[in-house]
Amino acid sequence: MYTNKQILNVSFPIFLSLLAQTIIGVTDTAFLGRVGEVELGASTMGSLFYICVFTIAFGFSTGSQIIIARRNGEQRYKDVGPVMIQGSFFLLIMAVFVFSLSRFFAPSIMRFLISSDKIFDATMAFLNWRVYGFFFAFVNVMFRALYIGITRTRVLTISAAVMALVNVILAYTLIFGHFGFPKMGIEGAAIASVIAEASSVLFLIVYTYITVNFRKYGLTQFRSFDVDLLISVLSISSFTMMQYFLSMGTWFVFFVAVERLGQRELAVANIVRSIYVVMLIPVNALSTTTNTLVSNTIGAGGVSQVMQIMKKIAKLSFLIVLSIVTLAALFPEAILSVYTNEIALIKESVNSVYVISIAMLVASVSNVYFNGISGTGNTRSALMLEAFTLVFYTGYIFLVAVYFKAPVEICFGIEILYYVLLLITSFIYLKKANWQSKKL
C-alpha cells in the first residue's frame, strides 16, 4: 500500500511538468491578450484544433503507459523498452499522416466552424506554423509514458521546464518583435511553441541516453516493426485514443458555440479556460499517478489494495484543490489581471471563474476514480463511461449556448454537470463491474 509521501513523490514531478507545459498556454494567452481580442480568440481556436489532433497521440501513449507500468510492477523490465520503441515509430508515422491531413483539410474545417472572417484568418495564420509541432509532440508523449510507467517522473519536470523557458523567451521575442526580430504576432506564438516542443524532445533523448540502463529496460531492441506488439498496445490504447479525442472534441465544440456568441464572449472564455487549465494541473497530476500506481499495484499482485489507493489519492486531490479554489474565489480579479489589463473584460470574466471553481471541487475526486479505471486496463469501459457523459455535455452546449445564447458563465456550468456524471458512473462501475481480472 502506497503512503501519502510515496504518492506525492510520484505525482509532484508530474505536477511540475504539467505546470511548466501549461505556462506555454498561459504565456500565449497573456501575450496575445495584449495584442488584441481577435488574436486571443484565434489562438484559442487554433490551439484547440491542435490539441484535438494531439489527443490521439496522447491517448496512445496513455495506453502504452498502462502496459509499461504493468510490466514494471511484474518486474518484466526487458518488456518495457519494446513498447516505448514500437510506440515511438508508430507515432512518428501517425505524425506524418495527421500533419498532411491538417495541411489539406484544416482550412475547410475551420472555415465551417468559425463565423468571423478576422478570427478565421488569424487562426489559419497560427495553424500554418503550429502543425509542425506534431512531429515533436508525438515523440514527447512516449518518453512521458516511459518515465511515468517506471515511476521515474522527476525528469519530466526538467524537460517541461526546458520547454516552458524556451517558449516564454521565444514568444516574447517573436510576438512583440524584440531583440532585432520582426514583430510576428500570432504566428510568432505558434513558431515559439513548435521550437519549444523540439527542445524538450532533444533534452529527453540526451537524458535517456546518459542516465537510463538500456539493457535493463530492453531499449536496445531496435528490431523490425513488431505488428503483434503494436496490436497488443492498440488493444488498450485505441480506447484511450478515442476517449481523449471525444473529450477534447466536445471541448472544441464548446468554444465553437461560444465563438458564435461574439468576439468578446470568446475572449472571456479563452481567459477563463486558461485559468481552468492551471487549476486542473494538480488534479491531472494525481489522476496520472492513480493510473500508473493502480497498474503497478495490479502487476505486483495487489488487486485488493486498488480501491484504497484511489480513495487515498482522491482525498489528497480534494484537499489540494480546495485550497486553490478558495484563493480563486477570494481573488478572481487579481488572477484575471494576469491575462488582460482591460477592466471590463476582467469584470465580465469573474462569474465564470466562480463556476469553474465549483466544477474543480467535483473534478478533484471524479478524475482520480475515472483514471483508476483506465489503470486497471479496462480502457474500453472508460471510453463507454466518457461517451455516455459526453452525450449530456454536447446536448447542454447546443441547448444553452446555441439555442438560448446564454451568458458565458452559464455555458461553463456544463463542467459541473460533466464531472458529477463522471463521478457517479465511475463509482457505479468500480462497485459493480468485474474489473479485477483484466489481463494485459
pLDDT tens digits for range 197-231: 999 999 999 999 999 888 888 888 666 567 788 88
User: Sorting pLDDT into bands at 50, 70 and 90, what band is 164?
Assistant: confident
Which three cell numbers mark 74? Answer: 511484474
Asked whether residue 147 carries a pLDDT value surpassing 80, the answer given is yes
Percent of the chain topping pLDDT 90: 37
Residue that wins the pLDDT comparison between 109 and 362: 362
pLDDT tens digits for range 25-76: 777 777 877 777 777 778 878 888 888 888 888 888 888 888 888 888 888 8
In this prediction the pTM is: 0.81
User: Sorting pLDDT into bands at 50, 70 and 90, what band is 174?
Assistant: very high
Asked whether residue 319 carries a pLDDT value surpassing 70, the answer given is yes
Across the range 371-398, mean pLDDT stands at 90
- pLDDT of 8 reads 80
Residue that wins the pLDDT comparison between 283 and 233: 283
- pLDDT of 21 reads 64
CA angle 262, 266, 271 (to 5 degrees): 150
Residue type, 12: F
- pLDDT of 223 reads 62
Which three cell numbers mark 15? Answer: 505536477
Residue that wins the pLDDT comparison between 66 and 316: 316
Cα gap 408→428, rounded to integer Å: 32
User: Sorting pLDDT into bands at 50, 70 and 90, what band is 183?
Assistant: confident
Q: What are the C-alpha distances in Å from 114 to residues 45, 119, 234, 299, 405?
A: 9, 7, 34, 47, 16
| Residue bearing cell 480579479 | 333
Across the range 238-249, mean pLDDT stands at 85
What is the chain's mean pLDDT, rounded? 87
User: Sorting pLDDT into bands at 50, 70 and 90, what band is 113?
Assistant: confident
- pLDDT of 2 reads 72
Say what angle helices 134-149 and 186-211 make with each other, to 10 degrees: 40
Among 140, 142, 14, 150, CA closest to 80: 150
Q: Is 4 exposed, middle or buried (0-12, 13-18, 19+ CB in 10 A)?
A: exposed
Among 253, 140, 123, CA closest to 190: 123
CA angle 319, 246, 20 (to 5 degrees): 45
- pLDDT of 222 reads 66
Compute how many other C-beta atoms are within 10 angstroms of the C-beta atom of residue 178: 11
